[in-house]
Amino acid sequence: MLAMLFATYIIRGKWKYEDVPELIKADVNKILKAEGYTDFS
C-alpha cells in the first residue's frame, strides 16, 4: 500500500525515486515498471 503511494507520487512528479525508503524500493520499482515507466531511477 505504501509502495503504491510512493509510485503514484513519482508518476505525478511530486517525489523522486531517490526519496523512496530502501525497504520498499523494490516494490515501487515493480509498480513503476508495470505502469510502463522505465526511466525513473
Q: Where are the domains of the chain?
A: 2-34
Q: Do you know the residue count of the chain?
A: 41
Tell me what pLDDT residue 3 has.
Answer: 97
pLDDT score of 39 = 80
Measured between alpha carbons, how far is 6 from 39 in angstroms, rounded to an integer?
A: 15
Name residues whose C-beta falls within 8 Å of residue 25's C-beta, 6 or more positions apart in sequence: 17
Contacts of residue 28, Cβ cutoff 8 Å, sequence gap at least 6: 3, 6, 7, 10, 17, 20
Q: How far apart are CA 15 and CA 41, in angstroms?
A: 12
- pLDDT number for residue 41: 60
pLDDT (tens place) for every residue of the chain, 41 residues total: 999 999 999 999 999 999 999 999 999 999 999 999 988 66
